[in-house]
Structure 1
Amino acid sequence: MTRFSQGSAALLLATAALGPAWAQPSQVQISGFLDLGIYRDFQGTAQLGTIQRSSISFSGAEDLGGGLQATFRLSHRLELDTGLGEGYGQKPFWHGESTVGLKGGWGQVRLGRALSALWAHDWKFDPWGHMNRVSSSAWYQWFYYVPTDRASNNGAPEFGRTPNGIFYDAPNLAGFTLHLSGSPERTQGPGGGKPYAASLEYAQGAAAAMLAFDRNGSGDRASFAAVKYRFGATTLMSSYDDSRRAQDQGRSRVLALGATHKLDGSVTLKAGLGHQRLNSNTHMFYSLGADYAVSRRTTLYAGLGQQRPENKSPSSSFGVGMSHAF
């Protein structure tokens, strides 16, 4: 036996002996959301591609004892029609999230890259969950002047995720939950400041509400308020967003209304209206849609959206698609 093989054998024996002491019970989960459809975009181009978002995630937790857990989450976003990563290489591979953290009775702290305290929860007040390029007014109008980072994707803006971040989610107290996010690092580009965000949610029975504020490292600011109420099979929602680019370089104010109605256990109808005051111009967004739940995880859907900018001809988008969650 060579010296190398003797050393390798010793290492294997030592690892085997220490393994039971190191190995702790853990939970690892693979999950994802796959979406693909055929649609005509607002420029009139027919496409086959992702109408909503597609992703695959790896998450887990290890019991550390005393009610404490170590957590991690890795989430990759992709274009299902081509298999390429979202943004075609411009965005990082773990674009969705890449965090490690600790969780206990006091809440959860995560470190890494993730949605800011605003973006992680605003989707609950849009009928399309802020992720439908055909029908969601939120996709096109919300936080118009406030990317979470102006240059984090190889020089391109990032709408939603804070890199080099610290994220805190407080435990629920009488229906209220506080979320905080920020970074100790200054962002690149104009301003060069440190981003931070906070949101306060309320959810109890049929009612839900949210107040949030987000400031990126460049000094752009967004304020958001939303309410939602369920009347039997019908849910009504409304939100208001005021986003301002630093140095008074632009302002967008959006009032959005939305509704969903379940016809039975399988069909959900959706409707939305977005009124945007973009600087001195008014932009309207109208939308309709329907989901058909084939199973608990698979959904067929159709959507229609129309943009009506001030002093311009309206343009429409429509599409049909299929999504599968696992």
Structure 2
Amino acid sequence: MQKIFYSRPDRLALALLAASLFAPAVAQGQDGVTLYGRLDVNLTRARGQKWHMDRASHSRIGLRGSEDLGGGLRAQFQLESRISLKDGAVDAARPWGRQAWLGLRGPWGALRMGRSYSPSRHVASSYDAMDGGIGTPGTRALLLGHASATFVRFENGVYYETPRLAGLALSAAVSLHAAGGAKPRRRARSLRLHYRRGAADLSVAYGQPGEGGHVASAGLAWDFGFIKPMAQFHAGAREGRRRAAWQIGLALPSGAGEWRAAFSRLDDRGPAPQADRKLLALSYRHKLSRRTLLYATVAHDQARSQPGRKGIELGLRHSF
């Protein structure tokens, strides 16, 4: 019989996956460990390119769980890994690189530590009508191009969120310096005020990435039932140059599916604005079930540094 050898990160991932499958049967006092994920794959083509396999959103697999400690206090954790459906690869250097945190939640709010999304990132993702793929510039671009490791997700992060009161909640996060590592120019930090009540969903946020610069953000969505418009705006500085990004979009339910449209613009206000970009997209998503959908997107992408490109993607997404 041929032996199969796994690298250390692969063995760790397999061990944690196996533990999650058997946890409900052996854990004592544990409310449960859930295995969850999203699989997304499509065929994409842009002008001047051949059809190739891609994805609209990152495929991922994760574990999350909680334990009731009594007195309204709960222990919570989450581990999440990115997966490529093109070849089944995971990030060997960081198998749980999407999220890895442990924390407590109680009547006073929630506190967690580890690697997770910054409050500013939630503004860029929550009000993005296209939610990935060729129809959006992406979360990092909307946040003015700041590096993912220092702003979209915080390394060595400490996160706190208040209880929601009259629809309002405040979340804050700071990225601590790594012991023994090279210190960044500053500690990355982010603050978000979120209001959600009834049909209304509004956010304002401010963040300072670890590599310098700053981003002020605002987002708005209003669900009328028959249509849901949404918008977001980000302004700040990166590498000493002022930048701005905004997007307006809408979601329109239609039978067993939904139409989505968005227009995005990135504005580089420096003396040589090479990052300027405009993106117009239209998408249709057909629900095969509550967890599985087919989608098709067409987009026109116009960047200052290259000719305008038209693209199309046809894909399948499944969540579990």
- The two structures share one fold, judged by TM-score above 0.5: yes
Pairing partner for 2:88 from 73, 79, 83: 83
- The DSSP-based 3-state class of the residue aligned with 1:217 is coil
Pairing partner for 1:62 from 50, 55, 67: 67
Name the amino acid aligned to 2:277. Answer: H
Asked if residue 223 in structure 1 is aligned to residue 199 in structure 2, the reply is: no
Uncovered stretches (5+) of structure 1, i.e. residues with no partner? 1-21, 151-158
State how far apart, in whole Å, the 1-side matches of 2:47 and 2:148 are.
25
Aligned to 1:195: 188
State how far apart, in whole Å, the 2-side matches of 1:34 and 1:192 are.
37
Query: What are the superposed Cα offsets for residues 229-249 of structure 1, whole Å, 9 maximum, x if unpaired?
Result: 122310111111113114x1x
Change in CA separation of 1:78 and 1:111 when aligned onto 2, cut-off 3 Å: same
User: Mapping of 1:1-326 within 5 angstroms?
Assistant: 23-41=28-46, 44-85=49-90, 89=92, 92-129=94-131, 132-139=132-139, 141-149=141-149, 160-185=152-177, 191-246=184-239, 248=240, 250-264=241-255, 266-280=256-270, 281=273, 282-310=276-304, 312-326=306-320
Change in CA separation of 1:121 and 1:64 when aligned onto 2, cut-off 3 Å: farther
Q: How much has 1:148 moved relative to structure 2?
A: 4.6
Q: How much has 1:312 moved relative to structure 2?
A: 4.3
Change in CA separation of 1:34 and 1:195 when aligned onto 2, cut-off 3 Å: same
Q: How much has 1:216 moved relative to structure 2?
A: 1.6
The list of structure 1 runs, each at least 4 consecutive aligned residues, that deviate by more than 3 angstroms after superposition, is 137-141, 186-191
Name the amino acid aligned to 1:64. Answer: L
Aligned residues: 289
Residues 146, 243 of structure 1: 8 Å contact kept: no
State how far apart, in whole Å, the 2-side matches of 1:216 and 1:230 are.
32
Highest Rg: 1 or 2? 1
Uncovered stretches (5+) of structure 2, i.e. residues with no partner? 1-26
State how far apart, in whole Å, the 2-side matches of 1:163 and 1:43 are.
38
State how far apart, in whole Å, the 2-side matches of 1:269 and 1:212 are.
28
State how far apart, in whole Å, the 1-side matches of 2:147 and 2:79 are.
22
State how far apart, in whole Å, the 2-side matches of 1:143 and 1:275 are.
12
Normalised by the size of structure 2, how large is the TM-score? 0.84
State how far apart, in whole Å, the 2-side matches of 1:304 and 1:53 are.
19
State how far apart, in whole Å, the 1-side matches of 2:228 and 2:154 are.
31
State how far apart, in whole Å, the 1-side matches of 2:177 and 2:194 are.
27
Query: What are the superposed Cα offsets for residues 275-317 of structure 1, whole Å, 9 maximum, x if unpaired?
Result: 2211354421101101001000001001112111237420122
Change in CA separation of 1:161 and 1:311 when aligned onto 2, cut-off 3 Å: closer
